Amino acid sequence: MTRTFHLLCALSLGVGCGAKRAPESGGGAAAKDLPAPAEVFERYLKATGVDPANPPPAPGAMHMVADLSMPAQGMGGTVETWTVGSNMLTKMSISGIGELQMGLYEGVGWASDNLEGPRLLEGEERDQLLFDANPRGDLDWATRYTAVEVTAVAPYAEEDCFVVKATKPWGDVRTLYFSQESGLLVGYEERVKMNLGSLNVSTQLSNYREIEGMLTATVFTSKTMGIEQVITLVSLTTSPTELPSMAPPPEIQALIDEAGAQE
């Protein structure tokens, strides 16, 4: 379930923020003392209750509700995300900013908000959305990333962690921190491409609890440019009884039709 929050953190931190590189963590260990990537990921999956040799199938549909807050700015809001197969719809409401929607429909990525209006996602921004909305997530880590390397042992969130550098298909690196003690993922750092630029974001995962048979992080604390944002899971259902239409709204469909006419 963690995969969904990568996307939410990128969406909400992208509203009104510029770019600044997240600090590198110190520490290290001799390469011969480090485990193989497969060992780190398999230990993580087992810690969450997943059998790496027989992972569960991706749910056909999922509905998630979360609270969002930016304490220093006195801002807050709510987030809802639905996924049906490879289609996704996210609706956010943030105080002082308004409504934001983002979706994937039949491979087309789109976004609409009060600041930029409706638009289609292209290039790396679309690639990133497809990557983070993948319902399999890191269950398929070996094929999800083009290269994976355990590079060091370093502190993160007051825990000694194995540092894993995982390269995304377009070349960006996501740095993951897995607790040596529990095996759980406790944080990650990455560059997030937005329409108006890029952000370097550091996100801490905490408050793991069991949801529908899996141990899942329920609090995600992200930081960039000195701005802290907290996303807290309220509910998650893998077999929702009611689903909204996943088709894009009319203003987005008009852009899709226009783009198709120009091809």
Q: Are 203 and 197 in contact (CB under 8 A)?
A: no
Residue pLDDT, tens place only, 146-186? 999 999 999 999 999 999 999 999 999 999 999 999 999 99
**Rounded CA gap, 102 and 81, in Å?**
9
User: Which one has a higher pLDDT value, 224 or 38?
Assistant: 38
- Residues 118, 122, 127, 133, Cα dihedral to 10°: 20
Tokens 């996501």: give the residue: 174
**Whole-prediction pTM:** 0.85
Amino acid at 131: F
pLDDT tens-digit map of 182-225:
999 999 999 887 766 788 999 999 999 998 888 999 999 999 88
- The highest-level CATH class for domain 2-262 is mainly beta
